[in-house]
Amino acid sequence: MLSSAMNPDLDHQREVLEAITPQVAAFMQRHIDARKLWMPSELLPAQDLPDIDYDAEIAALRARAQGLPDSIRVALALNLLTEEGLPHFHRLITQYMGHEGVWAQWNNLWTAEEDRHGCILRDYVRDARLFDMRALEQMQYEYIAAGFNPDWKADPYRLLAYTSLQEKATQTSHANAGRIAGQYDPQLQRIMAHICADESRHYQFYRDSFSAILELDTNRALASLAAVAPALAMPGHNIANYAHMSEVERRAGIYGPREYLKLVEELLSHWAIGKLEGLSAVGRAAQDKVMQLPKRLRRMAEYVETKAHSRSFSFDFIYQRAFEMAAG
């Protein structure tokens, strides 16, 4: 449970979260109205479906998937493992937003939708025989067993700032991986597009919920955003070999500092952070910190790109095959 001893503003924040529940309910209904609910079996052949030659479908899928380069396989593995971390995030949303009311309703709906992402990606990589599944399953087990407990200081605003940033980051990673993979297997690109559409709507929900908090409790919301945004701990950052897998994604043009810079700029613009006025000293300091973030991220991206050099990678889940990647 969240403790006021850890966060002296918690009682006030809970009042704000309660005050915006009508808006949150409207955001959730908008989401439901806009979505077209899909199931994994609609995107991958299932053996018991009528009017389908299952063996032929699987053989064709495996033939296409053989062409996927190892860099894309690594990105798929990281995206899959990240999606399989769902228990961590359901727990965190429950911990920070409660077991009842509209926030709990959203958490359950969001969890049900997110669960399909791990299911469909796991079905695909298994059907396509992309990985040493025992090695991948070991990584998944260790990731779940390690837990995920970000240092959010019992601040529910940080949860919503984080989910706004994280959902957009996840959408970006899936979209770019799908775009590249589509050159080899259009079916995989279609799967990734369905996942991205979900992530886009989830992003809109969290983004607009944080907007509502910014309107009612601007200074505290800015302080929470300033605490989370500069060093976003991506889901799965404690996965074994996460740093190397992330470096593969960066070099492949899937996700890295440049992509994070773009999404931060998008959110700062949407929330009109630079135009907020009448702030307290704490709010102004947080505003300044956040508005300096794009410049800092740009320098970081340039530094990483300047220092990088060609190198080889290998991972257990692709049978320790070594593959070379340019600096990127």
Residue whose token pair is 């087990």: 141
Kind plus residue range of the DSSP H or E element containing 294: helix 293-307
What pLDDT sits at residue 13?
Answer: 95
Distance CA 246, CA 249 (A): 5
Whether the predicted pLDDT of 318 surpasses 90: yes
Helix axes 70-83 and 242-251, enclosed angle (nearest 10): 130
DSSP 250-286: HHTTSSSHHHHHHHHHHHHHHTTGGG--S--HHHHHH
Nearest to 247 by CA among 307, 188, 191: 307
Q: Are 182 and 189 in contact (CB under 8 A)?
A: yes
Distance CA 99, CA 108 (A): 10
What pLDDT sits at residue 261?
Answer: 96
Sorted by where each begins, the domain ranges of the chain are 10-216+228-255
Select from 1.10.3720.10, 1.20.1250.20, 1.10.620.20, 1.10.10.10 the CATH code of 10-216+228-255. 1.10.620.20
How many whole angstroms from its chain centre is CA 197? 13
Higher-pLDDT residue of 306 and 219 is 219
Distance CA 321, CA 319 (A): 5
Average pLDDT over residues 72-91: 95
Round the average pLDDT of the chain to a whole number and report it: 94
Beta strands in the chain (DSSP E): 311-313, 323-325
SS3 category, 49: coil
What pLDDT sits at residue 1?
Answer: 65
What pLDDT sits at residue 4?
Answer: 77
The pLDDT tens digits of the residues spanning 6-23 come to 888 999 999 999 999 999
Residue 36, Cβ density class (10 Å: 0-12 exposed, 13-18 middle, ≥19 buried): exposed
SS3 category, 313: strand
Element counts in the chain: helices (H) and strands (E) = 15, 2
Whether the predicted pLDDT of 3 surpasses 80: no
Token pair recorded at residue 167: 């959902």
Token pair recorded at residue 212: 């509502």
The pLDDT tens digits of the residues spanning 216-272 come to 999 999 999 999 999 877 777 888 899 999 999 999 999 999 999 999 999 999 999
Average pLDDT over residues 141-161: 93
